[in-house]
């Protein structure tokens, strides 16, 4: 087993992926090397509590680590992220190999804590306190960046939706300082990124808290969009209630801002939205969609949907199906409601039976499949430009290797390219030739750059 090696297992959202990528770079800057699980002397499990049965998934992962490592006490196991924030030091009693628990804010101190724990084998550390302001993290190891970079601009949430535990697991909203965001964006572009995605729990609420420095979200978008070398700009995940006229106008005014927006609806019934405490109704959501498409007629919308929220009637559910068609979502993440300890809805009566939830989910997903198919079919014969992200598992014609990229709408597209080079990070003009179930096929129409 090599000295100072690590392995990271990540569950959940893009923000967790971003946290894990930062932690890897920070550890490498301290002299650690990434290694397979069976060879690592530090194993990090970065957890998520949003999806169903998060605690069971984490314990299953810890059991697998114990099995692969033989329970070796010399292997330092760290649990980080939202489940770590919720269960805290209980992990010390459940798994003897766990010696560091780092919550959502505490992960910033994980690299230093890991080094200390390796030097002091009998020590255990918990990093569970929330900070009052966004704490900048230490710089990671230098090195090339992939074609798509993710930059965190805020942390936490102030909304307390009835079904959600994010404010409890990630704390209250804290905006990052604009100069630090801009410095990181410039660094990622210098390292080879051509597309930047700005991240936040309610990303368009940036600046609307005591950590804000007077820069609005729309102004931040404009500043990032003006950076030399940036080809594309995206952001996730916005909250509809924070989407103001300046944010909408950005889709018309900022050329790098891609015509794709993930806009969580959650439910189509006003009664359900009110119980969820979403702070908008279906009329307001439809007005927002109309304004967005007036600013950018080709805008592709995706969404999040919860099926079977407590008290949801068949009429409520049909209202969600109707909203899906009215908004013409090109894709969606949908799942059945389940209680989260500490969330307000866990105390609600009128829980929907699991078999009813599942039947509704299948109907919803069937409708989404039809909407997605319609959107993909409409792309055939259109010209577009891809940012190549890597090799595809599909074979190209005439023995040319196939590569996968994404168009400005975020759809995965496969295209055959010459075999003489690594095309990762290059832009290529194409014409869409065929729609598959979840992706598109294309043919190159010009030179790569």
Q: Token pair of 181, please?
A: 């965001």
Domains, the chain, with CATH or none: 5-127 (3.40.50.12160), 148-379 (3.80.30.20), 383-444 (2.40.50)
Mean pLDDT of the chain: 94
CA distances from 411 to 245, 247, 387, 393 (A): 27, 23, 11, 16
Residue 270 has pLDDT above 80, yes or no: yes
- Determine which of 11-15, 21-25, 111-115, 169-173 has the lowest per-residue pLDDT on average: 11-15
pLDDT digits 0-9 by tens, 357-415: 999 999 999 999 999 999 999 999 999 999 999 998 765 555 578 999 999 999 999 99
Neighbour order of strands in the sheet with 33-34: 33-34, 5-10, 42-47, 76-81, 98-102, 125-127
Give the Å distances, CA to CA, from 41 to 3, 7, 59, 140, 329.
8, 8, 19, 20, 45
Q: Please say if the pLDDT value at position 54 is more than 90.
A: no
Whether the pLDDT of residue 79 is over 70: the answer is yes
3-state secondary structure of 284: helix
* Full-model pTM: 0.92
CA 57 to chain centroid, in Å, comes to 19
pLDDT digits (tens, 9 = 90+) for 370-380: 999 999 999 99
Q: Could you tell me which of 72, 11, 6 has the C-alpha nearest to residue 37?
A: 6
Nearest of 432, 420, 314 to residue 380 by alpha carbon: 432
Query: Which structure tokens are listed for 199?
Result: 């991240």
The total number of residues shown for the chain amounts to 449
Q: What pLDDT, on the 0 to 100 scale, is given for residue 2?
A: 47
Q: Is the pLDDT of residue 1 over 60?
A: no
Confidence of residue 206 (pLDDT cuts 50, 70, 90): very high
Distance CA 305, CA 307 (A): 6
- Where do runs of H (alpha helix) occur along 226-353? 245-253, 270-276, 282-295, 314-327
For residue 104 the two structure tokens come to: 């959502």
Residue linked to tokens 């290694």: 35
Cβ partners under 8 Å of residue 281, min gap 6: 270, 273, 274
Cα separation, 239 vs 427, in Å, equals 31
């Amino acid at each position: 087993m090599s000295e100072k090696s690590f392995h990271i297992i990540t569950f959940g959202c893009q923000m967790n992926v971003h946290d894990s990528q930062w932690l890897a770079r920070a550890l490498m800057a301290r002299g650690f090397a990434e290694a397979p699980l069976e060879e690592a002397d530090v194993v990090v499990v970065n957890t998520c509590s949003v999806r169903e049965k998060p605690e069971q998934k984490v314990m299953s992962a810890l059991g697998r680590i114990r099995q692969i490592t033989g329970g070796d006490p010399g292997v330092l196991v760290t649990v980080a992220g939202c489940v770590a924030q919720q269960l805290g030091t209980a992990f010390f009693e459940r798994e003897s190999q766990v010696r560091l628990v780092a919550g959502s804010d505490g992960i910033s101190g994980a690299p230093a804590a890991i080094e200390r724990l390796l030097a002091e084998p009998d020590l255990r550390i918990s990093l569970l306190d929330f900070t009052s302001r966004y704490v900048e993290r230490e710089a990671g190891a230098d090195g090339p960046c992939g074609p798509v970079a993710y930059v965190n601009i805020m942390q936490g949430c102030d909304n307390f939706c009835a079904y959600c535990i994010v404010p409890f697991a990630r704390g209250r909203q804290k905006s990052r300082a604009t100069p630090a965001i801009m410095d990181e964006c410039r660094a990622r572009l210098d390292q080879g990124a051509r597309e930047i995605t700005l991240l936040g729990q309610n990303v368009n609420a940036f600046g609307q808290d005591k950590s804000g420095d007077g820069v609005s979200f729309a102004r931040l978008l404009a500043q990032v969009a003006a950076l030399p070398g940036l080809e594309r700009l995206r952001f996730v995940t916005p909250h509809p209630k924070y989407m103001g006229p300046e944010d909408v106008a950005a889709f018309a005014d900022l050329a790098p801002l891609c015509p794709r927006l993930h806009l969580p609806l959650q439910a189509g019934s006003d009664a359900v939205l009110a119980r969820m405490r979403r702070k908008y109704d279906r009329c307001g959501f439809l007005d927002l969609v109309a304004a967005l498409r007036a600013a950018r007629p080709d805008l592709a919308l995706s969404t999040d949907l919860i099926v079977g929220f407590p008290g949801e009637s068949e009429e409520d559910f049909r209202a969600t199906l109707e909203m899906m068609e009215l908004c013409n979502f090109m894709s969606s993440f949908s799942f059945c409601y389940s209680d989260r300890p500490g969330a307000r809805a866990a105390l609600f009566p009128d829980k929907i039976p699991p078999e009813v939830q599942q039947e509704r989910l299948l109907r919803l997903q069937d409708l989404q499949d039809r909407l997605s198919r319609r959107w993909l079919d409409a792309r055939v014969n259109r010209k577009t430009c891809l940012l190549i992200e890597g090799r595809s598992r599909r074979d190209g014609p005439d023995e040319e290797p196939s590569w996968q990229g994404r168009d400005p709408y975020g759809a995965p597209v496969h295209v055959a390219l010459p075999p003489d080079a690594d095309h990762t990070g290059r832009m290529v003009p194409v014409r869409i030739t065929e729609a598959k179930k979840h992706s598109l096929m294309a043919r190159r129409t010009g030179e790569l750059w």
